[in-house]
Amino acid sequence: MAYPDKVLGEDEEVVRHLHPHWLTVFWPIVLFLVLVGGTSFGAALVPAGDQQATWRLVIVAAALVLGVFLVAVPLLRWRTTHYVITTHRLLYRVGILARSGRDIGLSRITDVSYRQSLWERVVNSGTVSIETAGEGGPTVFSSIPDSEGVQQLLNQLVEEDADRRAQEAAGHLGGFRWDGQQPTQQF
Protein backbone atom coordinates (compact mmCIF):
# COMPACT_ATOMS: atom_id res chain seq x y z
CA MET A 1 0.00 0.00 0.00
CA ALA A 2 1.50 3.36 -1.05
CA TYR A 3 1.58 6.63 0.80
CA PRO A 4 -0.87 8.26 1.62
CA ASP A 5 -3.29 5.31 1.47
CA LYS A 6 -1.49 3.50 4.28
CA VAL A 7 -2.17 6.31 6.80
CA LEU A 8 -5.86 6.85 6.07
CA GLY A 9 -8.70 5.97 8.42
CA GLU A 10 -11.39 3.59 7.23
CA ASP A 11 -13.89 6.34 6.31
CA GLU A 12 -11.24 8.82 5.14
CA GLU A 13 -10.60 9.62 1.47
CA VAL A 14 -7.87 11.57 -0.28
CA VAL A 15 -9.32 14.72 -1.84
CA ARG A 16 -6.06 16.19 -3.17
CA HIS A 17 -2.42 15.05 -3.08
CA LEU A 18 0.15 17.73 -3.91
CA HIS A 19 3.89 18.20 -4.14
CA PRO A 20 5.53 21.65 -4.09
CA HIS A 21 5.09 23.65 -7.28
CA TRP A 22 7.15 22.49 -10.27
CA LEU A 23 9.17 25.72 -10.18
CA THR A 24 11.00 24.37 -7.13
CA VAL A 25 12.72 21.88 -9.45
CA PHE A 26 13.25 24.28 -12.37
CA TRP A 27 16.70 25.53 -11.31
CA PRO A 28 18.05 22.09 -10.37
CA ILE A 29 17.08 20.85 -13.86
CA VAL A 30 18.71 23.90 -15.49
CA LEU A 31 21.78 23.26 -13.34
CA PHE A 32 21.80 19.63 -14.47
CA LEU A 33 21.85 20.72 -18.12
CA VAL A 34 24.66 23.21 -17.44
CA LEU A 35 26.57 20.56 -15.50
CA VAL A 36 26.30 18.03 -18.33
CA GLY A 37 27.37 20.62 -20.91
CA GLY A 38 30.22 21.91 -18.76
CA THR A 39 31.45 18.40 -18.00
CA SER A 40 31.42 17.46 -21.67
CA PHE A 41 33.21 20.65 -22.62
CA GLY A 42 35.76 20.24 -19.82
CA ALA A 43 36.45 16.62 -20.77
CA ALA A 44 36.95 17.64 -24.39
CA LEU A 45 39.48 20.31 -23.38
CA VAL A 46 41.78 17.84 -21.62
CA PRO A 47 44.94 17.62 -23.73
CA ALA A 48 45.99 14.28 -25.15
CA GLY A 49 48.61 12.40 -23.22
CA ASP A 50 49.21 9.76 -20.60
CA GLN A 51 47.01 11.53 -18.00
CA GLN A 52 44.06 12.29 -20.29
CA ALA A 53 41.88 9.44 -18.99
CA THR A 54 42.67 10.30 -15.36
CA TRP A 55 41.78 13.99 -15.79
CA ARG A 56 38.57 13.14 -17.61
CA LEU A 57 37.67 10.76 -14.78
CA VAL A 58 38.35 13.54 -12.23
CA ILE A 59 36.10 15.95 -14.16
CA VAL A 60 33.28 13.40 -14.37
CA ALA A 61 33.63 12.50 -10.67
CA ALA A 62 33.49 16.19 -9.69
CA ALA A 63 30.40 16.63 -11.86
CA LEU A 64 28.76 13.60 -10.24
CA VAL A 65 29.39 14.94 -6.73
CA LEU A 66 28.01 18.34 -7.72
CA GLY A 67 25.09 16.63 -9.41
CA VAL A 68 24.18 14.72 -6.26
CA PHE A 69 24.15 17.81 -4.05
CA LEU A 70 22.82 20.39 -6.48
CA VAL A 71 20.43 18.30 -8.59
CA ALA A 72 19.52 14.94 -7.02
CA VAL A 73 18.91 16.19 -3.48
CA PRO A 74 16.52 19.01 -4.51
CA LEU A 75 14.66 16.63 -6.86
CA LEU A 76 14.34 14.01 -4.11
CA ARG A 77 13.26 16.67 -1.61
CA TRP A 78 10.54 17.78 -4.05
CA ARG A 79 9.42 14.20 -4.67
CA THR A 80 9.30 13.30 -0.96
CA THR A 81 7.37 16.40 0.13
CA HIS A 82 3.66 15.66 0.31
CA TYR A 83 0.67 17.87 1.03
CA VAL A 84 -2.34 15.58 1.30
CA ILE A 85 -5.84 16.89 1.88
CA THR A 86 -8.32 14.26 3.02
CA THR A 87 -11.94 14.37 4.12
CA HIS A 88 -10.79 14.54 7.79
CA ARG A 89 -7.37 16.22 7.91
CA LEU A 90 -4.43 17.84 6.20
CA LEU A 91 -1.23 15.78 6.16
CA TYR A 92 2.22 17.22 5.57
CA ARG A 93 5.23 14.94 5.15
CA VAL A 94 8.77 15.89 4.19
CA GLY A 95 12.16 14.23 4.18
CA ILE A 96 14.42 12.00 2.14
CA LEU A 97 16.13 9.78 4.71
CA ALA A 98 14.82 11.28 7.93
CA ARG A 99 11.12 12.09 7.76
CA SER A 100 8.96 14.57 9.61
CA GLY A 101 5.34 15.40 9.30
CA ARG A 102 2.30 17.06 10.68
CA ASP A 103 -1.38 16.20 10.66
CA ILE A 104 -3.94 18.95 11.13
CA GLY A 105 -7.50 17.85 11.76
CA LEU A 106 -10.06 19.82 9.76
CA SER A 107 -11.99 20.42 12.98
CA ARG A 108 -8.99 22.33 14.41
CA ILE A 109 -8.63 24.71 11.44
CA THR A 110 -10.01 28.16 12.21
CA ASP A 111 -8.76 30.13 9.20
CA VAL A 112 -7.16 29.44 5.82
CA SER A 113 -5.59 32.18 3.73
CA TYR A 114 -3.32 32.37 0.73
CA ARG A 115 -0.83 34.88 -0.66
CA GLN A 116 0.52 35.23 -4.19
CA SER A 117 3.09 37.60 -5.63
CA LEU A 118 2.69 38.78 -9.22
CA TRP A 119 5.08 36.06 -10.44
CA GLU A 120 3.23 33.40 -8.41
CA ARG A 121 -0.04 34.51 -9.99
CA VAL A 122 1.51 34.02 -13.43
CA VAL A 123 2.69 30.47 -12.63
CA ASN A 124 -0.34 29.61 -10.43
CA SER A 125 1.56 29.08 -7.19
CA GLY A 126 1.51 30.67 -3.75
CA THR A 127 1.70 30.40 0.02
CA VAL A 128 -1.11 28.94 2.11
CA SER A 129 -1.39 29.89 5.81
CA ILE A 130 -3.49 27.80 8.17
CA GLU A 131 -4.56 29.02 11.59
CA THR A 132 -5.52 26.29 14.03
CA ALA A 133 -7.18 26.32 17.43
CA GLY A 134 -4.70 26.19 20.27
CA GLU A 135 -1.61 26.98 18.20
CA GLY A 136 0.82 29.85 18.69
CA GLY A 137 0.89 30.95 15.07
CA PRO A 138 -0.10 29.96 11.57
CA THR A 139 1.25 26.92 9.77
CA VAL A 140 2.68 28.22 6.51
CA PHE A 141 3.14 26.12 3.38
CA SER A 142 4.99 27.78 0.51
CA SER A 143 5.24 26.88 -3.17
CA ILE A 144 1.76 25.36 -3.23
CA PRO A 145 0.38 24.80 -6.73
CA ASP A 146 -3.03 26.43 -7.22
CA SER A 147 -2.87 28.04 -3.78
CA GLU A 148 -6.18 29.85 -4.29
CA GLY A 149 -7.94 26.59 -5.18
CA VAL A 150 -6.34 24.82 -2.21
CA GLN A 151 -7.53 27.61 0.11
CA GLN A 152 -11.09 27.35 -1.21
CA LEU A 153 -11.02 23.55 -1.01
CA LEU A 154 -9.81 23.60 2.60
CA ASN A 155 -12.51 26.10 3.58
CA GLN A 156 -15.17 23.92 1.93
CA LEU A 157 -13.86 20.75 3.63
CA VAL A 158 -13.74 22.47 7.03
CA GLU A 159 -17.42 23.38 6.63
CA GLU A 160 -18.34 19.86 5.48
CA ASP A 161 -16.38 18.36 8.38
CA ALA A 162 -18.23 20.59 10.86
CA ASP A 163 -21.57 19.49 9.36
CA ARG A 164 -20.54 15.82 9.48
CA ARG A 165 -19.48 16.11 13.12
CA ALA A 166 -22.74 17.85 14.02
CA GLN A 167 -24.73 15.04 12.38
CA GLU A 168 -22.65 12.41 14.19
CA ALA A 169 -23.15 14.20 17.50
CA ALA A 170 -26.91 14.35 16.91
CA GLY A 171 -26.89 10.64 16.11
CA HIS A 172 -25.03 9.85 19.34
CA LEU A 173 -27.59 11.57 21.56
CA GLY A 174 -29.30 8.27 21.99
CA GLY A 175 -31.21 7.99 18.76
CA PHE A 176 -34.40 9.33 20.38
CA ARG A 177 -36.66 12.04 19.02
CA TRP A 178 -39.68 13.72 20.50
CA ASP A 179 -42.89 13.35 18.50
CA GLY A 180 -45.02 15.54 20.77
CA GLN A 181 -46.43 12.75 22.94
CA GLN A 182 -43.59 10.56 24.08
CA PRO A 183 -39.99 9.89 23.08
CA THR A 184 -39.71 7.28 20.35
CA GLN A 185 -36.61 5.44 19.19
CA GLN A 186 -35.35 6.50 15.79
CA PHE A 187 -33.79 3.87 13.55
- Look up the CATH number of the domain holding residue 135: 2.30.29.30
What's the whole-model pTM score? 0.80
Residue 4 lies in a domain: no
* Spatial separation of the C-alpha atoms in residues 21 and 41, rounded to whole Å: 32
Residue 183 lies in a domain: no
| Per-residue pLDDT reduced to its tens digit, 15-66 | 999 999 999 999 999 999 999 999 999 999 999 999 999 999 999 999 999 9
Domain count, the chain: 2
Phi then psi dihedrals of residue 144, to 5 deg: -90, 125
Question: 122 and 32, same structural domain?
Answer: no
Q: What contacts 42, CB < 8 A, 6 or more positions away?
A: 59
pLDDT beneath 50: ranges in the chain? 187
User: Residue 181: what pLDDT?
Assistant: 54
At residue 180, the 3 state secondary structure works out as coil
* Spatial separation of the C-alpha atoms in residues 29 and 33, rounded to whole Å: 6
User: Residue 9: what pLDDT?
Assistant: 85
Which residues constitute the domain of residue 123?
A: 12-20+82-174
User: Residue 187: what pLDDT?
Assistant: 47
Question: 163 and 131, same structural domain?
Answer: yes
Is residue 14 within 8 A of residue 6, CB to CB? The reply is no
Question: 138 and 96, same structural domain?
Answer: yes
User: Residue 28: what pLDDT?
Assistant: 97
User: Residue 173: what pLDDT?
Assistant: 62
